[in-house]
Structure 1
């Protein structure tokens, strides 16, 4: 009778090296993607159809669904905040609270999670399938570029979706907040813009912009980096898609904590 197989020993140094190596590969990939997005040759006529196909194919199906979800969420939260503030005699602070809760915090976070689940993770699974099937190696042998032809269009589509959904939903939330507070009248516009301007100070606006771009970069790069570099096997008990999601959620949490510290510390 064969002896039972020995259980694998936990090697913290090896796990730490593998963790650092994976994050270095993801950061390196993000730097390459960011440099290519800022390079004019990326938008050359020969590359525009592929890039446009990924952008439209990713953004168009999401815009309607996320618009409906964000509209319902904004209606519910704005109504609760306005009614609660009025019951305590704090109506003058209600709109500021609605803008802070919805536009500054919930909408960018919801957009990042929505794009991650619907765009980035499926794109990372496609990239991993192409890698495992040998299609990426065949592309290299033909003289093609995996980064330009496979990674960059998917990353650009995720980043574009993130920024588009966050901007669109923020405008919808502001419009709904105004309608709930003042109704269908233009006479409250001056007061509303003044209250929104008091929330969006230069520092808060900068933090909001950096937070949105940070969410977009994380959603665009981390799942794709995991799909491109991770290998299924005994080194990790998690599936490839779940490994990318865990890294993505950790990055989103870190960005959210840093933004909260910048806004309220």
Structure 2
């Protein structure tokens, strides 16, 4: 009797956990659909909404772009030097450039840019909105006629996407320039060989995979942390509200999606 009761209780807990997991992903997909619908709507860029969006894009991207690019350049210099010295010690100098480009530009920099934007911008915004939801501030704003999706969520999602794109592009270009200067020095005579090697690495398939990886990284980073706080609090259980307030569930979900995207890109590049 005791065994059957414990089994029933375990099945009920499993059912509740499964339903909560499915509902959370369904809400995230619904939120993504709403945001992308606004992105395709001309009214989102009219005279009333354009200043808010532009202000969010600039304030979330420009300050982070400067010092992230500087930090990424310093780390890239160290890693490039380590790879070059290691390749020379094993007599593999001709493979040093290819290794630097594949490790830094294709893998590390896009992943680092996505994680940086998540920890710096979107996860704190998601936690702030969850706290505002739990205190009733968002409900009050809705009763006052404020379009939360258009005025609050949409600019933050777009700024998160734009920030990942800008940080990844600028850092990748900076790393390519630093790789040339570190390996060949300040000479223009090696530029032809350098561009040939880089062009062989960035064939159409690899370039497409890199572009799609950055795009999906930006979507995951911008949408997942903000999705749960958009919905009314009464739809969540007490445990889910506690997790949402601390950002733990969004962080785990975000890192899981980023890991899946990274594994898929690795399979596309090397299998």
Task: With the length of structure 2 as denominator, give the TM-score of the two structures.
Answer: 0.90
Residue equivalent to 2:19: 17
Contact 1:124 1:228 in 2 (8 A): no
Contiguous gaps of at least 5 residues in structure 1: 1-6
Residue equivalent to 1:121: 123
2:267 is the counterpart of 1:261: yes
Contact 1:219 1:248 in 2 (8 A): yes
* 1:1-265 correspondence runs (5 A): 11-229=13-231, 231=236, 233-235=238-240, 238=243, 240=245, 241-265=247-271
Contact 1:70 1:169 in 2 (8 A): yes
Q: CA–CA distance in 1 between the matches of 2:123 and 2:100?
A: 31
What is the root-mean-square deviation of aligned Cα atoms in Å?
A: 1.9
Contiguous gaps of at least 5 residues in structure 2: 1-8
| Deviating more after overlay: 112-121 vs 84-93 | 84-93
Deviation of 1:8 after TM superposition, in Å, equals: 9.4
Contact 1:127 1:150 in 2 (8 A): no
Contact 1:232 1:239 in 2 (8 A): no
Deviation of 1:48 after TM superposition, in Å, equals: 1.0
| Deviating more after overlay: 232-241 vs 144-153 | 232-241
Deviations 1:172-221 (A, max 9, x none): 10000000011111111111111111111101111100000000000000
Deviations 1:220-254 (A, max 9, x none): 00000133348472357745311111110001001
Q: CA–CA distance in 2 between the matches of 1:235 and 1:144?
A: 26
